[in-house]
Amino acid sequence: MNLVNWHRVKGMSMGNNYDSHRASELDRYLVEFAQLLRTVGLKISPSEISDATEGLALIGLVDREKVEAVLQATLVKNVQHISAFQEAFRAYFASLEQKEAWQKEAAHKTSQWNEQIEKTYQDLRFQDNELEISDDQRAVYANLPEKDKQRLRDFLEKSSKGTRSGVPVDHTYQPMVERVLRGSLEYWRKKLNEDDPILSPGSSDGVLSEVERALRDREVEVISRDLKKISPEEWPEVIRLIRRLSQRLASQVTRRYRAARRRGGLDMRSTLRKNLRYGGVLVDRSYRSRRKGRPRIVLLCDISGSMLKYTEFIWQFVYGLSSVVSGIKTFAFGEALIPLTGKFRKGQTFEVMVKEALSISGKEWGGGTNLASALETLQKKYPDTFNKQTLLLIVSDAQTLEGDKAATLLGEVQRHVRQVLWLNTLPERRWSETPYVKAFLPFCQMYECYTLGHLSQILNKQF
């Protein structure tokens, strides 16, 4: 491989006589490389960069693979970051021609993007005045199919020439037209975002944009892909991950309990008694144990129509969790509450199980959502579900009927339990569009959770 950058680095400090000037040149490259790694999400401290320098001085720069190994060992401290590192290494130490090509491509993309945005200023006008629309909305317009663009343009043109009671409209109508247009673009944004979010071309730096592209391609790595997009063949892998995560949750539950026990105060009475045999000299200490007990997990899963895509995920999560943590109480809810505790059987799919439970209660699978009625039933029919040791886990997209009532009920529940955790399958950027999310927020810790990456992050943060 012709690695220009590489050779430059290599040429600098080959052999034994590498003086301070050359070394500082190498440092500069390393710092720059570390910057690149930071932009793609790694945490790198100066001490690690200095480790890398020392390592390279030791191993030498002759062998590209060894250099990669040295940098990986000193700069990457997390298994999940290895792929990002590999891509960054490949791109940063690529040949100069390659880098120039990327640079050109990135510049091209940026200019294309700018051009598109520029063009919207021409397209979207009302009586030759520019409209007041945000750049995000302009980007949505630029991404529309030509047919729909034309429709919007037609609308603008017609309303520009429109009349009201025989009098041609004037510029005072512009705000109204803008509102209509914004509404329409908002609709399109939601619709387009469903599949792929509209991304700006990213960095104009060639190397960085190449790394970003490669990492997006690598999203094949299940951990960062939307759970509804995972194909059936990949489920075994996902299941394995979920099991691992839930196992971790289970083991952490125990850890807390033990740690708390040792921290109780000194128990004077039993200490004195224990030390009578040493003539009253306090040798062995005895502690008062303050048991915190394991949290009792209550799981409340949304199985309404909007959540259908995530059922496999929920099921695996529920099953994985209940196979490692004992005594979980599980409920599903759509329009009404469906108790599922003790209904798990091996090899049975979630759907079958829920259907069985539904046929008993005579309800429909995948209907509307009513969290309020679910919480009400839970409190009335299962009053012993909630106590100070309860960890209430809600898995839902927060799109529910009677949201205000549900929020009030949730507030009540929250006062009686240790913690309410809400895993929301809706991306955080869309929470503001969902009417009741704001009402729920004060009463629970809500996390976006639509990839396995999110789930493991939440577990790291919480437990």
Partner 1 sequence: MTNRRNLDQFERELEAIGYITERDDRIALTAFLATELGKPLLVSGPAGVGKTEIAKVLSQVLDAPLIRLQCYEGLDETKSLYEWNYQRQLLKIQMGREHLQEADLFSTDYLLPRPLLQALLSEKRTVLLIDEIDKTDSEFEAFLFELLGEFQVSIPEMGTIKAKERPMVVLTSNGERELSDGLKRRCIFLHVEPPSINKEVRILRAKVPDLPERLALEVARAVNVLRERLSLNKIPSVSETMDWAKALLVMGKTGLDPAWVEATLTLLLKSQEDVELFYREMGAERLIFESSKLAQGERHVHG
CB 36 within 8 A of CB 207: yes
At 381, is the secondary structure helix, strand, or coil?
Answer: helix
Size of the site for partner 1 (CB under 8 A): 40
Q: Residue 118 and residue 307: Cα distance in Å, rounded?
A: 39
- Residue 54 touching partner 1 (CB under 8 A): yes
Please, which residue, 45 or 134, has the CB nearer to partner 1? 45
- For residue 73, the minimal CB distance to partner 1 (Å) is 4
Please, which residue, 17 or 47, has the CB nearer to partner 1? 47
Q: Residue 102 and residue 207: Cα distance in Å, rounded?
A: 7
DSSP annotation string for 169-202: P-GGGHHHHHHHHHHHHHHHHHHHHHHS------
- Residue 78 touching partner 1 (CB under 8 A): yes
Please, which residue, 8 or 43, has the CB nearer to partner 1? 43
DSSP annotation string for 8-73: HHHHHT-SS---HHHHHHHHHHHHHHHHHHHHTT----HHHHHHHHHHHHHH-SS-HHHHHHHHHH
- Residue 59 touching partner 1 (CB under 8 A): yes
Select from 268, 272, 278, 355 the one that contacts partner 1 (CB under 8 A). 278
- Residue 76 touching partner 1 (CB under 8 A): yes
Q: What beta strand segments (E) does 260-328 contain?
A: 296-302
Please, which residue, 69 or 266, has the CB nearer to partner 1? 69
Please, which residue, 54 or 135, has the CB nearer to partner 1? 54
- Residue 43 touching partner 1 (CB under 8 A): yes
Q: Residue 139 and residue 221: Cα distance in Å, rounded?
A: 28
- For residue 53, the minimal CB distance to partner 1 (Å) is 10
- For residue 55, the minimal CB distance to partner 1 (Å) is 5
- For residue 79, the minimal CB distance to partner 1 (Å) is 5
Burial 422-433 (b: 16+ CB within 10 A, else e): bbbbbeeebbee
Tokens of 152: 């919007």
At 331, is the secondary structure helix, strand, or coil?
Answer: strand
Q: Please report which helix (H) or strand (E) contains residue 330, including its range.
A: strand 329-333
Tokens of 443: 């009463």
- Residue 27 touching partner 1 (CB under 8 A): no
Give CA separation, 110 vs 98, 144, 243, in Å: 18, 18, 43
Residue 125 dihedral angles phi and psi, to the nearest 5°: -135, 150
Q: Which of residues 89-148 bind partner 1 (CB under 8 A)?
A: none
Select from 8, 28, 38, 77 the one that contacts partner 1 (CB under 8 A). 77
- Residue 55 touching partner 1 (CB under 8 A): yes
Q: Residue 373 and residue 115: Cα distance in Å, rounded?
A: 52
Q: Residue 394 and residue 443: Cα distance in Å, rounded?
A: 12
Residues 6+ apart with CB under 8 A from 293: 257, 389
Please, which residue, 159 or 252, has the CB nearer to partner 1? 252
Q: Which of residues 198-237 bind partner 1 (CB under 8 A)?
A: 236-237
- Residue 70 touching partner 1 (CB under 8 A): yes
Please, which residue, 198 or 259, has the CB nearer to partner 1? 259
At 348, is the secondary structure helix, strand, or coil?
Answer: coil
- Residue 73 touching partner 1 (CB under 8 A): yes
Please, which residue, 206 or 320, has the CB nearer to partner 1? 320
Q: Which of residues 234-273 bind partner 1 (CB under 8 A)?
A: 236-237, 239-240, 243, 248, 251-252, 254-255, 258-259, 262
- For residue 252, the minimal CB distance to partner 1 (Å) is 7
Tokens of 364: 């429909």
Select from 7, 22, 66, 309 the one that contacts partner 1 (CB under 8 A). 66
Q: Residue 178 and residue 360: Cα distance in Å, rounded?
A: 52
Q: Residue 130 and residue 203: Cα distance in Å, rounded?
A: 28
Please, which residue, 8 or 277, has the CB nearer to partner 1? 277
Please, which residue, 182 or 261, has the CB nearer to partner 1? 261
Please, which residue, 58 or 167, has the CB nearer to partner 1? 58
Q: Residue 249 and residue 456: Cα distance in Å, rounded?
A: 10
CB 313 within 8 A of CB 291: no
- For residue 71, the minimal CB distance to partner 1 (Å) is 11
Give the binding site for partner 1 (CB under 8 A): 43, 45, 47-48, 51, 54-55, 58-59, 65-66, 69-70, 72-74, 76-79, 82, 236-237, 239-240, 243, 248, 251-252, 254-255, 258-259, 262, 278, 281, 283-284, 347, 460
